[in-house]
């Protein structure tokens, strides 16, 4: 199928397809995958490395599993180089959700202490905080204009009981920077321990660990092209001795990071293949990929912004995701958001994130090297028929 020509007003605002980008993936060509941010997608060269690792494990299980601790340390060192981290200061974890639980188990809290979260926070991460202590939820108006307004809103919600703040690096529904370096510094100056959810940061940000949080966790399987189940937990030196594996293993006494990474007999091939994802990103030219992805997301958002009732949300420059508010009466509840998401998938063969909110939910579009401008154009042309 040929893609429609962009209209003149959009013709300078977005790139053509990333050369060779689509061929790197085995995505269903019948579907427009505009939701890379939820589960990522694994490029074929990374799939092949993981398949080879699995073949090694099947061919000689003893040799494979006995070598796992050393091979994990090597893989972690390669990841650390990409993230600008100390290899002893990060650990492989399964995903951001697990990273949140490990971090929140390690923070020091007394009776009556509280944890601050925001209403843009990811559900599983907020659930981990709520298991640990009383949670105060800061409402962030999606229309807050910039990082400073976000920072001031969070700081204004602190009380003497707030001992920990759990903040998105890049928020999932609204796709914006919350844990800015300045906000993290202000919280540290007030004695608040910072836990940053960097699920979207590796691969999307050039320097994901620059903010200097006490605890930071991120996924390599979203924007880092790693296999699913590849997360990273980074811990500041003064907290490392308190981070304990949720399930103890033979490596438990070695402490952070080894005790977290060794999990008895599980499939380690995702972690071992993970550095290939970041290597690929850098071979493609990470800066070029980021620019391309951000331009595509911006292109999609500008098309949706022309639909009556849709409101583009303030965004952080350079990110590969953009969000818009849907009209009142659309996706106001979780079930309505799921229903709309599935209707768009079934009838338009397009995958996007729909998030619920009273007064009108939201939609998030992503850009990735396998996407083309025409996918957003077709979606934008068809979407109005599905809005309340």
Site residues (CB under 6 A) for ligand PLP? Answer: 38, 95-97, 122, 124-125, 168, 172, 197, 199-200, 219
Q: How far is the CB of 98 from ligand PLP (least distance, A)?
A: 7
Q: How far is the CB of 225 from ligand PLP (least distance, A)?
A: 14
| DSSP secondary structure of 114-172 | EEEEETTS-HHHHHHHHHHSEEEEEP--TT--SHHHHHHHHHHT--TTEEEEEEESB-T
- Of the pair 14, 172, the CB lying nearest ligand PLP is at 172
- Of the pair 273, 380, the CB lying nearest ligand PLP is at 273
Beta sheet of 215-219, edge-to-edge order: 90-93, 231-235, 215-219, 193-198, 162-168, 114-118, 134-138
Q: How far is the CB of 328 from ligand PLP (least distance, A)?
A: 25
Q: How far is the CB of 59 from ligand PLP (least distance, A)?
A: 30
Q: Calculate ∠ Cα 174-167-316, nearest 5°.
A: 40
- How much of the chain is in helix, strand and coil states, percent to nearest 5? 45, 15, 40
- Of the pair 14, 122, the CB lying nearest ligand PLP is at 122
- Of the pair 80, 204, the CB lying nearest ligand PLP is at 204
CA distances from 59 to 45, 46, 62, 64, 227 (A): 21, 20, 9, 9, 21
- Of the pair 208, 373, the CB lying nearest ligand PLP is at 208
- Of the pair 199, 278, the CB lying nearest ligand PLP is at 199
Residues near 345 by beta carbon (within 8 Å), at least 6 away in sequence: 31, 351
- Of the pair 94, 330, the CB lying nearest ligand PLP is at 94
Q: How far is the CB of 134 from ligand PLP (least distance, A)?
A: 21
Q: How far is the CB of 199 from ligand PLP (least distance, A)?
A: 3
Q: What's the rounded Cα separation, in Å, for the pair 231 and 243? A: 16
Q: How far is the CB of 388 from ligand PLP (least distance, A)?
A: 26
């Amino acid at each position: 199928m040929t893609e429609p020509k962009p209209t003149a007003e959009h013709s300078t605002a977005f790139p053509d397809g990333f050369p060779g980008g689509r061929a790197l993936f085995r995505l269903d060509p019948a579907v427009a995958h505009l939701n890379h941010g939820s589960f990522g997608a694994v490029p074929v060269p990374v799939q092949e490395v993981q398949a080879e690792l699995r073949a090694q494990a099947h061919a000689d299980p003893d040799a494979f599993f006995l070598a796992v601790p050393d091979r994990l340390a090597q893989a972690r060192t390669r990841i650390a180089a990409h993230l600008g981290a100390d290899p002893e200061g990060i650990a492989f974890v399964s995903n951001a959700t697990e990273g949140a639980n490990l971090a929140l188990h390690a923070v020091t809290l007394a009776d009556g202490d509280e944890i601050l979260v925001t209403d843009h926070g990811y559900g599983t991460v907020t659930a981990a905080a709520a298991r640990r202590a009383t949670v105060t939820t800061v409402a962030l108006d999606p229309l807050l204009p910039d990082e400073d307004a976000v920072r001031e809103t969070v700081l204004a919600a602190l009380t003497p009981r707030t001992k920990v703040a759990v903040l998105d690096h890049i928020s999932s529904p609204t796709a914006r920077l919350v844990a800015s370096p300045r906000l993290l510094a202000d919280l540290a100056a007030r004695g608040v321990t910072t836990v940053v959810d960097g699920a979207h940061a590796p691969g999307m940000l050039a320097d994901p660990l620059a903010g200097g949080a006490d605890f930071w966790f991120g996924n390599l399987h979203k924007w880092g092209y790693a296999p699913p189940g590849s997360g990273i937990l980074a811990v500041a030196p003064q907290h490392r001795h308190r981070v304990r594996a949720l399930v103890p293993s033979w490596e438990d006494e070695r402490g952070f990071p080894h005790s977290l990474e060794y999990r008895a007999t599980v499939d380690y091939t995702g972690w071992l293949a993970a550095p290939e994802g970041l290597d690929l990103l850098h071979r493609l030219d990470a800066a070029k990929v980021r620019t391309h992805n951000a331009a595509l997301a911006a292109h999609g958002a500008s098309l949706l912004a022309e639909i009556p009732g849709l409101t583009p949300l303030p965004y952080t420059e350079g990110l590969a995701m953009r969000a818009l508010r849907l009209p009142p009466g659309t996706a106001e509840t979780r079930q309505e958001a799921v229903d709309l998401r599935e209707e768009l998938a079934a009838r338009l063969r397009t995958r996007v994130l729909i998030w619920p909110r009273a007064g009108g939910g939201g939609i998030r579009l992503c850009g990735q090297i396998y996407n083309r401008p025409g996918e957003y154009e077709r979606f934008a042309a068809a979407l109005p028929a599905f809005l309340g």
